[in-house]
Amino acid sequence: MEISNLINEYTQWLKQEITFAKTGDFYEITTPFLDMNNDYIQIYTKLSDDDIYMTDDGYTLQVLLSNGLSISGKRKELLDCIVKQYGFSISKNLEISGSCSPRDFPLTKHLFVQCIMKVNDLFMVKKSTKLESIFLDDVTDFFTQKNIMASEQVSIIGKTGYSHSYDFIFARTRSHPERLCNAINNPDKSHINNAIFSWMDTKENRRPDSQLILIVNDLDKRIPDSLEKATQSYDISMIQWTERNSKKNLDLLAS
């Protein structure tokens, strides 16, 4: 099956699964993607003649705070960096928001949902440790310890024109192709499917030998075989965090 057909099927599925309702001056848009509480991610848009305002109404960060996560210091810097990378901002009342023209709405809505999913995933507190920890920090520290060189926080335009964010990119060398890499703290079906679609779209605009590596947190729960098989079907390499020091995985990440 052609990759373009798979992308078309995915976008058609998105259209069928997204619903909306009018609430006052805003439209409430419900997506098929799940947050850390397994609720569907909802965004709110307000339309004017030449501008569309978009917000999560503060829900994303309020949920994280209610689950015991404090947002300050290095964690606040990382949060601001991620949100800005997607083109949005955080208000004093903790709303993630942004604006766009009607013409740019499809792309901006896509980026907004990706932003919320990324924040939800990165800032989910590990249950396996008493101290709060961010999985992306753990991965970055691991790279430093192993002298693994990579550029951080890159955005790449896919064939559809959508922009996709990656946590790391490993430059092409004599012995390794270009490798993009994402750290997934909560590797559930929603996050894995989203990673697959992003890669399907991105790969069309990269060198034929480019690869994707997913580093997934398996400390709290076993990764289902179905998710491993799904990534393998698209030639995506999955590194489970508990197996990060194996020779095979270190070779995969080598500079």
Distance CA 135, CA 220 (A): 12
Q: Give the predicted TM-score (pTM) of the model.
A: 0.73
Report, at the CATH architecture level, how domain 135-253 is classified: 3-Layer(aba) Sandwich (3.40)
Distance CA 86, CA 112 (A): 7
Backbone φ and ψ of 222, nearest 5°? -70, 140
Sequence-separated (6 or more) residues with CB below 8 Å from residue 20 = 27, 28, 29, 30
Average pLDDT over residues 127-149: 78
**Residue extents of the structural domains in the chain:** 3-122, 135-253
pLDDT in tens, 175-233: 899 999 999 998 988 889 889 988 998 998 899 999 999 999 998 888 999 999 999 99
Band of residue 36 on the pLDDT scale cut at 50, 70, 90? confident
pLDDT of residue 3 exceeding 80, the answer is no
Residue 245 DSSP code: T
**Cross-sheet strand order for the sheet of 40-47:** 19-23, 26-34, 40-47, 52-55, 96-100, 89-90
